[in-house]
Structure 1
């Protein structure tokens, strides 16, 4: 596969990041043949450790098609970090935009230029207690349906044992293995040509997340929960419980008057 798009900054980042990754992490990488050799495409990846963007970038760098991650556009303005972000072709996300599609305009343009854009569709580290993928946000589906590009689902597991979610200290020994499985593109063709309503985007996102979860089941050798963890529903349930508790307290206080 061609490496003509990698460029100086990405090669510099690889020179800095690859040696510690090679030392700290063993590799079990599968499915590289499903990464398109040319043309624009999206990868959608689960997220269970602050280390896994580096480990996943190492995997895809070795395919010859480097990933362009989405990041807050403010990071692109900060000194050396901003220079690296711009130099490696990362994608700024304009979260203050009121137009959901324009928030991903740079990602759409990158795909149309023939780049790979890597999405963490959960939007953050998974909060599922057993580290299964959560419900996804609709950005990846929106870009995929706008561009009709291939969407490659990627599951990863193992670096979460090196640095669990929200942990501050890594578990260096024994040496951990980074398991990756990239699957064939998700078939979203049934959504083409339709109005991008919230319901349609959610349905397409569920298809994408189901593909990631199925590949993670293969890596872990176990079944995921039938229903993915939904942080919004969990927050709503917590608010209801809190309101119920406060209401009970108010009634008890009133009864004591």
Structure 2
């Protein structure tokens, strides 16, 4: 990844140096997790990702995931509600830095702006009472375009990543965690991510975020 791209990190000091938190970046390329992982490593934190529990059953892959401290999450309907809470508790107890893509899948927005978010990242932050850090990156699409499968190695690309201030969730904490509260808090998170990306791109974000449901797009995202 160092050969493929140079990394320009803006406001990297805003990433907590210790303690648990959730990092919520934008998502428009399949290689995004690797890029974010490299950036977090450069900033001195080991990234943890939520991975399907079934992957941990693969002999070699499972051992590597466990050795790297990644977090298994069941994808069954019965477990879907409880598993994020277990992951949140583990993050808080062990002081982990967990990466969650709030969009759930690659953005469907035609211009690669963040689309409507899912509530998993906010729910974990509220349940565990840990900071929720927004982030945005730009340039990754030059390494691997959205829906692409080939990596462009030459010429070397520049990827810029901007870390934001913790999302202000103060008005949501200490209240019953309802669907409406999670939706409202997720809108705040997505607005923060969009603003960071707008600063990187040097242009304003769309006034309305792309909504897959309204645009007849099928969501196939992860938690």
User: Aligning the two structures, in what range does the TM-score lie when normalised by the shorter sequence?
Assistant: over 0.9
Return the TM-score normalized by structure 2: 0.92
Q: What is the CA-CA distance between 1:100 and the residue it aligns to?
A: 4.7
Return the TM-score normalized by structure 1: 0.80
Q: What is the CA-CA distance between 1:42 and the residue it aligns to?
A: 0.8
- The alignment partner of 1:202 has SS state of helix
Contact 2:133 2:166 in 1 (8 A): yes
Rg larger for? 1
Alignment partner, residue 200 of structure 2: 219
CA distance in 1: counterparts of 2:24 and 2:49, whole angstroms: 11
- The alignment partner of 2:65 has SS state of helix
Alignment partner, residue 112 of structure 1: 93
Q: What is the CA-CA distance between 1:171 and the residue it aligns to?
A: 3.1
CA distance in 1: counterparts of 2:95 and 2:41, whole angstroms: 16
Contact 1:101 1:142 in 2 (8 A): no
CA distance in 1: counterparts of 2:143 and 2:43, whole angstroms: 24
List runs of 5+ in structure 1 lacking aligned partners. 1-20, 238-257
Alignment partner, residue 178 of structure 1: 159
- Residues 46-82 of structure 1: CA deviation (Å, up to 9, x unaligned): 1111112111101001122111111111111112111
Alignment partner, residue 221 of structure 2: none
CA distance in 1: counterparts of 2:97 and 2:198, whole angstroms: 25
Task: Tell me how large the CA RMSD over aligned residues is.
Answer: 1.6
List runs of 5+ in structure 2 lacking aligned partners. 219-223
Q: What is the CA-CA distance between 1:224 and the residue it aligns to?
A: 1.3
Contact 2:74 2:80 in 1 (8 A): no
**Over 6 Å off, 4+ runs:** none
CA distance in 2: counterparts of 1:170 and 1:236, whole angstroms: 26
- How many pairs are equivalent? 217
Contact 2:21 2:91 in 1 (8 A): no
1 or 2 for the larger relative contact order (CA 8 Å, sep ≥6)?
A: 2
- Residues 198-224 of structure 1: CA deviation (Å, up to 9, x unaligned): 111011111111111100001111111
Alignment partner, residue 8 of structure 2: 28
Higher helix content, 1 or 2: 1
